[in-house]
Structure 1
Amino acid sequence: MDKLWKRLEDYLEVNAPVMRECLANGATEAELTELEAAVGHTLPSDVRLSLLRHNGQNLVNGDPGGGTLIPCGFRLLTLSDMLVEWTEHRNVAEYLKGERDPEIANPGVKPFFHHPAWIPIAADIGGNSICVDLDPGEGGSVGQIIEFNHDLDTPTRIAADYKSWLMEITDGLEAGQYIYENNSYYPGFFLPEDLSSFGVAYSPTNP
């Protein structure tokens, strides 16, 4: 994880230094243990190693200082924010008291509205989140990464594990798949075609 994070840090230093500066210092083992006790689950080793290097993104006046690191529009959560998001998810699950129709579940993910074994690691301003799934459905794997979106029936599996997820993002950034836009209402990395929603013109020959 350290080598992968070094690649990502080096990329940010050159292409989005303000975002590099907003990455928080690492959490402590004691802080990780406290979170795990609160949610009742042990985090996978790649998630723990990542949080030991960077405990999410610092906020400036309540907002991500350099924007959202995770395309498109998600910020990495600190341990304290992870617990807040998890608690909100748990409360929703308890309120709804039930499963969704298994026939509309996405592959590898259990058909719940929310699940206490989905631990949020990133979130956007619309209440959507990216979670590490510690209780997967049939065909899934413990530690897989899922995206919860209000427009979908159940979360979608987007990566086999945290390291694969972060590597895919890093590979995409280095390959120019995403563009850093710092002039929008909510700065961060976006697909070029998505920038039009902010009134930003983009051409591959004139970024």
Structure 2
Amino acid sequence: MTTGVPGLTELWSRFENWLAKHAPGDYESLRQGCPGADIKRLEDSLGFSLHEDVRTTLELHNGVTIRRASTEPGAFLLGYSLLDIDGILEAHRDLVSMVEDAREEGEVDLVVGCIADMQWVPLARNISGDLLFVDHRHHHLGEIGEISFGDSEYRMLWPRMDLMLVDLCHSVESGAPVTSVPRVPVLYEGRMLEWHIRPPQQVS
């Protein structure tokens, strides 16, 4: 079915080209893509097949160089850094542990599908430990969600990764806020991208 939206590889290339020109520190933080054997190792550990968007992203880039401080580049996805395969597995194990603890404590309704789920595949993490993930549940397949630990429920930010990248590309190219959250792109020291919360519009 034709949607009018460019393919994911083309969209990643468009976003990366903008980073290379305007935020070189972020661009240089991108790591080389994963071989198929590593992606299979990830799927075997998860226990299910990866959504094609996650697979494509890992084939392009196995995450970014790990940040040690907020002044280091690499958090160009709304302040989140792309995870490599080992980072995905670590973050997923944390989600699995939360689900298992909830089952033992009789708190499934408060946790599963709200703040953790075994079928959420972490995509990126910020320096506080919050996550962006790709939903692998049947009725939510491919959605991009945000877990902010401390909130009682996750937020669905985009229905698909290609739409996430369309939104991010438009935002960095025009300076407009992304559509899913009130965040605007700001360049820091001409080397990395930050996302600042836009204050609410004043009503005159």
Instruction: Identify whether the pair has TM-score above 0.5, normalized to the shorter chain.
Output: yes
- Between the aligned partners of 1:182 and 1:84, the Cα distance in structure 2 is 32
Structure 2 match to 1:100: 109
- 1:152 maps to amino acid: D
Percent identity (aligned): 23
Contact map agreement 1:75 1:122 (CA 8 A) in 2: yes
Structure 1 runs (4+) greater than 3 angstroms displaced:
62-65, 110-113
Shift, 1:152, TM fit? 2.3
- 2:134 maps to amino acid: V
Bigger relative contact order, structure 1 or 2, given CA contacts below 8 A and separation 6+? Answer: 2
The verdict on how the C-alpha distance between 1:171 and 1:93 changes in structure 2, with shifts beyond 3 A counting, is same
Structure 2 match to 1:116: 118
* Matching of residue 191 in structure 1 with residue 196 in structure 2: yes
Shift, 1:63, TM fit? 5.3
Deviates further, 160-169 or 23-32? 160-169
Structure 1 match to 2:3: none
Alignment of 1:29-68 (within 5 A): 29-59=36-66, 62=68, 65-68=72-75
- Between the aligned partners of 2:60 and 2:48, the Cα distance in structure 1 is 20
- Between the aligned partners of 1:181 and 1:192, the Cα distance in structure 2 is 15
Q: Deviations over 1:116-137 (max 9, x none)?
A: 101100111222101111115x
* Matching of residue 74 in structure 1 with residue 74 in structure 2: no
Contact map agreement 2:95 2:118 (CA 8 A) in 1: yes
Contact map agreement 1:122 1:129 (CA 8 A) in 2: yes
Shift, 1:85, TM fit? 0.5
The verdict on how the C-alpha distance between 1:6 and 1:113 changes in structure 2, with shifts beyond 3 A counting, is closer
TM-score, normalisation: structure 2:
0.78
Secondary structure (helix, strand or coil) at the match of 1:83 reads: helix
Structure 1 match to 2:21: 14
Count of residues in correspondence between the two structures: 179
* Matching of residue 157 in structure 1 with residue 159 in structure 2: no
- 1:190 maps to amino acid: W
Structure 2 match to 1:135: 137
- Between the aligned partners of 1:83 and 1:182, the Cα distance in structure 2 is 33
